[in-house]
Chains A and B, each alone.
Chain A
């Protein structure tokens, strides 16, 4: 019954390696969002999944970033060939139905550090 969960909570990797970040939304929530927050900055939208619709990938910063959502539930954000500028907190949020009147609930985030 808990909220949105994310794993790992912290990830340290070397430049050039691939990383996978996981998000478990609130049960029953059809919409799932990924954001990135760099130190002292606001939230940068990355990607949005709504039900079975094609995801809105307009926020992905480069083709090194990809995300999938299996079975309408768990989502994985993959960053290939990580760069130091990818270091940030990656936040996942879910909402009941998505769209302009829906409340998003955030997970605790994954802090990614690329050395």
Chain B
């Protein structure tokens, strides 16, 4: 089992709808969780980080963490065409960051 798993997509979501991106991880010792956005040909940029169980909201983005079930998700409300990108989930274990392969999100205008 991979340490960080994401559905590669593409995930197609109509403009204005909620995009839901999911990530599961294998190591229960993982303590920090990050979502990065990467536009094609560009480097990743941090969108959200979450450390505690529950929800964390920032603008149109909400990160949800469930340590018991070992998943972390990212919700994007009111999806915009500019949200079309690859979203990388990352965990930190033993001070080392481990990335998933990313989910490609396509917002349909």
- Of the candidate stretches B11-19, B54-62, B72-80, B94-102, the one touching chain A is B94-102
Q: Which of B43, B49, B51, B100 has the most chain A CB atoms inside 10 A of its CB?
A: B43
Instruction: For A107, give its contact among B43, B95, B98, B100 (CB under 8 Å).
Output: B43
Q: Please count how many residues in chain A sit with their CB below 8 Å of the partner chain's CB atoms.
A: 22
A60 to B51, CA, bound (A): 28
Whether B43 contacts A104 by the Cβ 8 Å rule is no
Q: How far is the CB of B83 from chain A (nearest CB, A)?
A: 19
**B95 touching A98, Cβ below 8 Å:** yes
What is the minimal beta-carbon distance from B11 to any residue of chain A, in angstroms?
Answer: 15
Q: Mostly helix, strand, loop or mixed at chain B's interface? A: strand
Q: Is the CB of A45 within 8 A of B97?
A: yes
Bound CA span A102–B14, Å? 34
Contact of A100 among B32, B46, B99, B101 (CB under 8 A): B32
Give bound CA distance, A89 to B31, whole Å: 28
Q: Which 5 A-B pairs have the closest CB atoms?
A: A42-B101, A106-B43, A43-B99, A100-B92, A100-B32
